[in-house]
């Protein structure tokens, strides 16, 4: 699914510079930094440039989620149209919150950093906000998680294909 989304964005944003496409993909939930690095690799964006673009793109939404999502959800819950959606988002995020509750900083770092479906900066920030984790703890933890995700995804998107070419 992630590959199909990346292809869709790359095709429909082809009028933008490749770097802008990578930046936009990195800001989108589900795709985030992981999708941005894969897209950068597919679009031929240089590794160092791609990493910088992806980290910046993925980190931009984080402070807004941490600071404002609880208020936004409160307002949305008051509407018939969005109350069910907010409930589902909260339930899904909180169902993944056990490790963050138990290990706090390290749990949030690992949750954001290990590239599995349903993890990442968006969901990690949402969980931290819903758990009312202090911004001074949550933001650095998410940033450390992004750096961990960058390292893991760098191996996946760069080193593995390089090793395959050597075979």
CA 56 to CA 71: how far, in whole Å? 25
| Cβ neighbour number for residue 129 with a 10 Å cutoff | 22
In this prediction the pTM is 0.85
pLDDT in tens, 1-32: 667 777 787 788 888 999 999 999 999 998 99
In sequence order, what DSSP letters do the residues of 21-69 get, joined into one string? HHHHHHHSTTTHHHHHHHHHHHHT--HHHHHHHHHHHHHTHHHHHHHHH
Residue 2, pLDDT score: 63
Question: What does the pLDDT average to over 43-51?
Answer: 92
Q: Which residues have C-beta within 8 Å of that of residue 147, sequence separation ≥ 6?
A: 55, 113
Taking only the tens place, the pLDDT of each residue in 85-94 is 999 989 988 8
Give the pLDDT confidence score for residue 80 in this predicted structure: 92
The domain spans of the chain are: 2-58, 61-150
Q: CA–CA separation, 143 vs 15, rounded Å?
A: 31
Q: Looking at residue 21, what is its pLDDT?
A: 93
The closest of 75, 91, 154 to 123, measured between CA atoms, is 91
- Give the span between the Cα atoms of 22 and 33, in whole angstroms: 9
* Contact in structure between 133 and 96 (CB atoms under 8 Å): no
Could you count the other beta carbons within 10 Å of the beta carbon of residue 84? 12
């Amino acid at each position: 699914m992630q590959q199909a989304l990346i292809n869709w964005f790359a095709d429909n944003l082809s009028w933008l510079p490749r770097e802008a496409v990578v930046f936009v993909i990195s800001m989108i939930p589900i795709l985030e930094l992981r999708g941005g690095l894969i897209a950068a690799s597919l679009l031929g964006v240089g590794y160092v440039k791609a990493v910088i673009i992806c980290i910046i793109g993925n980190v931009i939404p984080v402070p807004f989620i941490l600071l404002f999502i609880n208020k936004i959800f409160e307002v949305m819950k008051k509407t018939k149209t969005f109350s069910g959606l907010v409930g589902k988002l909260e339930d899904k995020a909180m169902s993944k919150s056990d490790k963050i509750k138990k290990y706090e900083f390290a749990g949030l770092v690992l949750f954001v950093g290990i590239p599995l479906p349903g993890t990442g900066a968006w969901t990690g920030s949402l969980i931290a906000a819903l758990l009312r984790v202090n911004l001074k703890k949550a933001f650095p933890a998410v940033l450390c998680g992004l750096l961990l995700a960058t390292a893991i995804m760098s191996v996946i998107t760069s080193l593995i294909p390089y090793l395959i070419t050597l075979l």
